[in-house]
Amino acid sequence: MNYRELFGVRPGTGVHLSAIDPNFKDKHEDRAAAAAEIEPDNQRLRKLQYLLYAEHKRSLLVCLQGLDAAGKDGTISHVFAALNPTGARVHNFKAPSKDEADHDFLWRAHLPTPKNGEIVIFNRSHYEDVVVVRVRGLVPEAVWSERYELINDFEKDLSLAGTIILKFYLHISEDEQLRRFKERLDDPTHNWKISEADYTDRAFFKNYLKAYEDAIGKTSTTHAPWFIIPANHKWFRNLAVSKIVVETLESLRMTFPPTTVDIEDIRRRYHAAEQAEKLVSD
């Protein structure tokens, strides 16, 4: 099954998250069945990253969005752990610092975008500025409603510069979110993740869904598509994201750049040096 087509949001179409089953898991019955596919994908991803780095013409930007406890950190840990860290970065978006707030809202998003040959994962992203600010009333509608077009222009600019953009909304149900919050309460090693906002924001669950529906519908484009990933099953979430990233990179048909030196000449000189060392050692 082609997950890019299945989960991709076609440009210009409306989004209704309530119509998408967050429990969907395709043909996979359990974590073990998914794991059998994820490991080969990890190996393919490592090779594709090496090709991306060697070709040095393009870059990859992955944006992860979702409600609290949707699994952004888990996706990074399980899907992108396969990457060579020398060519990959994760950038976390928190509440804007004073310096960030003193600039336009996209200033802090432009700085960490990937350079040629690099993969960058945004844990949350510039979409906080059309979702969170809207739900919490941090800026007036006249402000956030204009930002969709600015985001599209920003992403178009990145695309023209060679950046491949993939945006994932990790879709969980309200019940699953509450269950994951309870896990955090019950597990001392996850207590640190708990915040007051986790529970106060639950009163605005439907408001967040509406904000995401509008944001996704207005900003899913051919050059920066959105994918809505059923994420109640963490293992299926990882599988789906992994396959979409791998399939997208493979579709680029990347090739290694031509050599800039005379390989045969270097091979002859290496062989001559090797023979000379052997005579000295004898």
CA 84/CA 45 separation, integer angstroms = 10
Does pLDDT of 120 surpass 70? yes
Architecture of domain 3-281: 3-Layer(aba) Sandwich (3.40)
Nearest to 251 by CA among 107, 71, 48: 48
Supply the pLDDT for residue 274: 80
Instruction: Of 31-40, 54-63, 65-74, 114-123, give the lowest mean pLDDT range.
Output: 31-40
Instruction: Please tell me the predicted confidence (pLDDT) of residue 282.
Output: 64
* Whether residue 139 has pLDDT greater than 70: yes
Q: Which comes out higher in pLDDT, residue 13 or 190?
A: 13
Q: Any idea where the domains of the chain sit in the sequence? A: 3-281
Judge contact between 151 and 93, C-beta under 8 A. no
Q: What is the pLDDT of residues 45-103, one digit of tens each?
A: 999 999 999 999 999 999 999 999 999 999 999 999 999 999 999 999 999 999 999 99
pLDDT > 90? residue 189 = no
Average pLDDT over residues 129-133: 97
Say which residue, 267 or 5, is predicted with more confidence.
Answer: 5
Average pLDDT over residues 237-257: 97
**Per-chain mean pLDDT for the chain:** 93
Q: Average the pLDDT over 92-116 and give the result.
A: 96
Q: Give the per-residue pLDDT at 33.
A: 86
CA distances from 126 to 9, 26, 105, 201, 215 (A): 19, 31, 8, 19, 11
Mean pLDDT computed over 20-49: 93
Could you give the C-alpha distances from 276 to 19, 100, 159, 272, in angstroms and in order? 73, 61, 52, 6
Q: How far apart are CA 41 and CA 20, in angstroms?
A: 25
Share of the chain above pLDDT 90, in %: 79
Can you tell me whether residue 8 is helix, strand or coil?
strand
pTM of the model: 0.93
How would residue 273 be classed by pLDDT, with cut points 50, 70 and 90?
A: confident
- Please tell me the predicted confidence (pLDDT) of residue 35: 87
